[in-house]
Amino acid sequence: MKLKRKFYGRPTLDVTRDLLGKNLVHYIDGKRLVGKIVEAEAYIGTVDKAAHSYNNKKTRRNEVMFGPPGHAYVYLIYGMYNCINAVTQDEGEGTATLIRAVEPVENIEIMAHNRYNKPIEELKKRQIFNLTSGPGKLCMAMGITNKNSNGMDLCGDTLWIEKAEENEAFEIVETTRVNIDYAEEAVHFPWRFYIKDNPFVSQK
């Protein structure tokens, strides 16, 4: 069942925690690419020096962050990778959740092709666990780019998040975020959440 806009229009930390165990779905070329969200981080612009939206700064890149909740903020990073966020809270607040890792659920063989250009049978075990275990990796595996997905309505029919049919119980780990060394005091905010012991959680 597809998450509704009301789900996203809540405090960012609640949304971030609650996204764990949900399925990210990209309907592309007539196929559902699906991954279970196992790691996510909150970015809360007003008080967060790690956020693109810090200090209420709107730019052409991050304007989607300031739009209504339930939309995808997808940006290009390091010239070659994409990262996907879900916009949260209320319009104008500049808050979002970065999806950092998923576990492949449907059409993993397409993800293998998107990542390694090889049939899945030829992948080594460590390559399987490397398919979607990071924000850039999962976007590559699921065919999500800044060009095709930035600003996409997550309540539409192309890119969305849905409740899984069933979920094993899991424990949530709450810790500090990754690769934001420049963010001064925000470095210490415990705004990274992941499913304990899940092998698709990103390293470090």
Partner DNA sequence: ACATCGATCTAC
Partner DNA sequence: TAGATCGATGTG
Residues that bind DNA (CB under 7 A): 41, 43, 50-53, 57, 59-62, 65, 73, 76-81, 83, 85, 96, 98, 115, 130, 134-138, 178-180, 182, 202
Min dist. Cβ of residue 1 to DNA (A): 26
Q: Least separation, in Å, of the C-beta of 66 and DNA?
A: 11
- Comparison of 7 and 191: residue with beta carbon closer to DNA: 191
Is-contact 26 33, C-beta < 8 A?
A: yes
Given the complex with DNA, which of 49 and 157 has the nearer CB atom? 49
Through-space distance between the first and last CA atoms of the chain, rounded to whole angstroms: 32
Please tell me whether residue 47 adopts helix, strand or coil conformation: helix
C-beta of 166: minimal distance to DNA in Å? 28
Rounded CA separation 147/71 (Å): 14
Cβ–Cβ < 8 Å for 98, 62: no
Nearer to DNA, 22 or 52 (CB): 52
Instruction: Give the Cα separation of 106 and 61 in Å (integer).
Output: 31
Least separation in angstroms between residue 130's CB and DNA is 5
Longest Cα–Cα distance of the chain, Å, equals 48
